[in-house]
Structure 1
Amino acid sequence: MRKKKVLIIDDDARNIFALKATLKAKSFDCLSSLHADEALELLKTDEEVDVILLDMMMPDIDGYEAIPRIRSIRSRREVPIFAVTAQAMVGDREKCLEAGADDYISKPIDVDKLLTLLARI
């Protein structure tokens, strides 16, 4: 059985490093990008991606702008996008879902919660 491939889009290399280490230990393959525009270019290729973990608060293109751009790529319309944000205030989850995210997880990431989300894909 093929490992699920997770694309991590986060402008903080430390977050990417920690997520990759955690996910690889749980038998996921990982790709990463520090910039949404770089991730969008990758998503236009034939690279297999089963789920996207998207930091919502990034410079240049934030998650709220990136989600519709990802959804506009025909081959990626159905790829689950999980919004990741340190903004864990009332209404943030709804704002992420309204932007087109499939689900939401706050930082610091609860690994068990993340694995539960990923188990659904």
Structure 2
Amino acid sequence: MNKKILIVDDDPRNIFALKLTLKSRGYQIESCTMAQEAIQILKEQAIDIVLMDMMMPEMDGYEAIRMMRNTPSMSEIPVIAVTAQAMPEDRQKCIDAGAQDYVSKPIDVDQLMTAIEKFS
């Protein structure tokens, strides 16, 4: 079965590029530009993996992941943090917030696919 991936990023260009890349590899894609919207989608749909941009207005990725981890229906969904902040402590901050993996921007497609395939 095709995995369904939710892309959460406040930049539509990032969503567009990721959608093309992932659809070409057979994944089903949902996307949104706000963390609150992502939480709503996760309540309504079966999502297999979340790609979460960490730096977003209003609610950032860290807060969104913490909300997911504290919500039983979505606490087990793997989250791959996607962020332009690429220092080792940033990776640890993402993992501490509850992300299972971390990919820095600009996204290396091979690195992203490796991260996604861990949960496929």
Fold conserved (TM > 0.5)? yes
Residue correspondence of structure 1 range 1-121 to structure 2 within 5 A: 2-45=1-44, 47-121=45-119
Find the residue that maps to 1:64 and give its secondary structure: helix
What is the TM-score with the length of structure 2 in the denominator?
A: 0.96
Count of residues in correspondence between the two structures: 119
Note the C-alpha offset of 1:75: 1.5
Provide the aligned C-alpha RMSD in A.
Answer: 0.8
Conserved? CA contact 1:44–1:73, under 8 Å: no
Q: Which moved more, 1:18-27 or 1:73-82?
A: 73-82
Note the C-alpha offset of 1:70: 1.3
Find the residue that maps to 1:60 and give its secondary structure: coil
Q: Which moved more, 1:104-113 or 1:89-98?
A: 89-98
Note the C-alpha offset of 1:90: 3.1
Find the residue that maps to 1:39 and give its secondary structure: helix
Q: Which runs of 5+ in 1 are unaligned?
A: none
Find the residue that maps to 1:44 and give its secondary structure: helix
What is the TM-score with the length of structure 1 in the denominator?
A: 0.95
- Looking at structure 1, the residues matched to 96 and 70 of structure 2 have their Cα atoms a distance apart, in angstroms, of 16
Q: Which runs of 5+ in 2 are unaligned?
A: none
The percent identity for this pair of structures is: 55
